Amino acid sequence: MPIDYTASESLIKDYRLKPGDKIRQVREERGYSQEQLADIMNINRSTISKIENGKFSVTVDYLVRFSILLDYEFKVIER
């Protein structure tokens, strides 16, 4: 059965939004602006924005950095 490319792209974006939403939530709870967090992480503020909005796939390296800097443990859960 052929895979519907449009549907898979939508699903991928949905999966990118989940960690992005959590990163935004934790960042705001910790009192950081996107600019402040970007400065601490030594990346562009636009990268933070893209991650939080599901437009950029967050890497494991970034997740580790977010975990350390935001004092929050991100976990991979098996289904």
63 lies in a domain? yes
Asked whether residue 55 is assigned to any structural domain, the reply reads yes
Q: Is the pLDDT of residue 2 over 70?
A: no
pLDDT of residue 74: 86
Residues spanned by the domain of 29: 5-70
Residue 78, in any domain of the structure: no
pLDDT confidence tier of residue 28, bands split at 50, 70 and 90: very high
pLDDT of amino acid 75: 83
Residue 76 lies in a domain: no
pLDDT by residue (tens digit) across 6-24? 778 888 888 889 899 999 9
Number of domains in the chain: 1
pLDDT in tens, 30-73: 999 999 999 999 999 999 999 999 998 888 999 999 999 999 99
DSSP code, position 9: H
According to DSSP, residue 74 is labeled -
> Which residues are within 8 A (CB) of 63 and not within 5 positions of it... i.e. 6 or more apart?
19, 74
